[in-house]
Amino acid sequence: MTTLAHDMATLTRNALTVLQPGFTGTSAPDWLLRRLGEGLASVGLFGRNIASPEQLAALTAQLRAERDDVLVAIDEEGGDVTRLEVRGGSSFPGNLALGAVDDTGLTHAVARELGRRLAACGVNLNWAPSADVNSNPDNPVIGVRSFGATPQLVARHTAAWIEGLQGAGVAACTKHFPGHGDTAVDSHHALPRIDADPDTLAVRELVPFRAAVAAGTKAVMSAHILLPALDPALPATLSPAALHGLLRAPVADGGLGFDGLIVTDGIEMRAVADAYGIARGSVLAIAAGADAICVGGGLADEDTVLRLRDALVTAVTDGRLPEARLADAAARVRALGEWAKTAGGPDAARRIAPAPEVGLTAARRALRITPADGAPAYRPPTGPVFVAALTPVAGIAVGDETPWGVAAELSRLLPGTTTAAHGPEDIAARGASAVVTQMLDAAADRRIVAVVRDVHRHDWMAGVLDALLAARPDTVVVEMGVPQAPPGGALHIATRGAARVCGRAAAEVITGVTADVTTGVITGNEAGH
């Protein structure tokens, strides 16, 4: 009986260890602290948990007082996906902007400064970077989160980003293996399918992940995507062929030879949860080779943690999950916690010189500015403008709580500037012509600045923009998504992302603060478009 009790205690501890749960609130609830004492080794933070750097530092200190090797994870890509600056917008441009500049030294510097800020707040695991090759421009979930559409470009910037982040003592978790770029479905909502053959996967999707492994990424996040070339039945997160047979397998056997921590994407995402449920999905993921279950984007309570813990224990006791596999997964989690305990934290942050302007510098360099062909030279406005924001529905990864656009920065530079936002529901209910008429009436004789995001993916947005440009050819267009559509307007500015610094860089150009566009000079690097 003593041996059995000891075994059950070990199983229970190991089952808790492989979970990376979220929670609600800006301080740790009692149940979370109690479970840390029982074996829980990781905690996931989201925008709901963060009010300020000082509050975040206090929260992580609270967690670390209970367990000094706890992994405190966050989804902080910079750019459109930010948790650290969820209410104000990121101080760093995202991957597409960095890939467009194509300066790996700049990418390294941006990631290092982002890592310094995370480390100063006590965060030691970042579910980033995205190493997906955005080969499908209609991709609804990756887009500007990718460094670009070229495997080698994505690979070199993925490596630079990892090295910059981990140089600040924050573990990188490269995602979304084996590559979410060639999808037209968001795995938050349904199961995407990629029908690429093995040769295509090898020279496209896998190139950046091989570079990530070579750069020493501490973790890799699996994707909830179906790739029949690897496994005709199971999504990658649940597939032994993808995780054990490809990611873990030795290079000599055609694998990537990765020996670090494998983390699942959010197990509550519908691509897994709808078909398998989160409890069975967690068991299948650990059995397939995953080491940690990310859960808590939408499920963030003690009951969920206990349900997954008990499902893993039961799976071992009834023979569906080898005990050694669960023990190995838990050991990998603890090993990364030990690395982070010595490599990161506020002490590591203090050893790095702050670079507060590096994000804005990168955003400025990433701009592509295109004056209209044959139009009079652009002259910046001297008074307030009217901002017409055409706003698509935000993806779950980005969230709808983070502000974006240029209105705030233009209002700062041109007091009296006003704005109106219109989304697909408004256009469907009222019609494009009525909305455009309203815009024109509101603008009166002021310059109009139209702000769009991935206009090539949204017919309603393209229709409104075309009608607006027909009525007011002097309109300035700011594209804050993937600049796939042809430029239009008196001046077209592609920011390659919607971070706060991208909005500021665009506003500076519109008002003539930092760029001379009257000569028709094109600024920004074309690479990665």
Query: How remote is the C-alpha of 394 from its chain's centroid?
Result: 13
Looking at the fold, whether 432 and 339 belong to one and the same domain comes out as no
Mean pLDDT of the 251-278 span: 94
Looking at the fold, whether 473 and 444 belong to one and the same domain comes out as yes
- The H or E element that residue 47 is part of is none
313, 328, 355 — which closes off a domain? 355
- In a domain, residue 285? The reply is yes
Domain count, the chain: 2
Looking at the fold, whether 183 and 244 belong to one and the same domain comes out as yes
Give the best-scoring range by mean pLDDT among 315-319, 402-406, 427-431: 315-319
- In a domain, residue 4? The reply is no
Looking at the fold, whether 274 and 309 belong to one and the same domain comes out as yes
Looking at the fold, whether 265 and 387 belong to one and the same domain comes out as no
- In a domain, residue 255? The reply is yes
Looking at the fold, whether 413 and 328 belong to one and the same domain comes out as no
Catalytic residues: 188, 265
Distance CA 226, CA 238 (A): 10
- Which domain CATH number covers 388? 3.40.50
Distance CA 499, CA 357 (A): 14
Confidence grade of residue 320 (pLDDT, cut at 50, 70, 90): very high
Checking if the pLDDT of 36 tops 70, the result is yes
330, 355, 380 — which closes off a domain? 355
Looking at the fold, whether 58 and 181 belong to one and the same domain comes out as yes
Predicted local distance difference test score (pLDDT) of residue 290: 98
pLDDT tens by residue, 191-230: 888 898 999 999 999 999 999 999 999 999 999 999 999 9
Percent of the residues in the chain that have a pLDDT greater than 70, as a whole number: 94
Checking if the pLDDT of 398 tops 70, the result is no
- In a domain, residue 223? The reply is yes
- In a domain, residue 523? The reply is no
Looking at the fold, whether 198 and 255 belong to one and the same domain comes out as yes
Looking at the fold, whether 204 and 342 belong to one and the same domain comes out as yes
DSSP 324-384: HHHHHHHHHHHHHHHHHHHH-SHHHHHTS---TTHHHHHHHHH-EEEEPTTSPPP---SS-
- In a domain, residue 465? The reply is yes
302, 328, 355 — which closes off a domain? 355
Looking at the fold, whether 256 and 206 belong to one and the same domain comes out as yes
Looking at the fold, whether 346 and 377 belong to one and the same domain comes out as no
SS3 of the chain: helix, strand, coil, percent, to 5: 45, 10, 45
Predicted local distance difference test score (pLDDT) of residue 298: 72
pLDDT tens by residue, 55-93: 999 999 999 999 999 999 999 999 999 999 988 999 999
- Which domain CATH number covers 313? 3.20.20.300
- In a domain, residue 245? The reply is yes
Predicted local distance difference test score (pLDDT) of residue 397: 57
Domain that holds residue 468: 367-511
Looking at the fold, whether 314 and 410 belong to one and the same domain comes out as no
Confidence grade of residue 373 (pLDDT, cut at 50, 70, 90): confident
- In a domain, residue 11? The reply is no
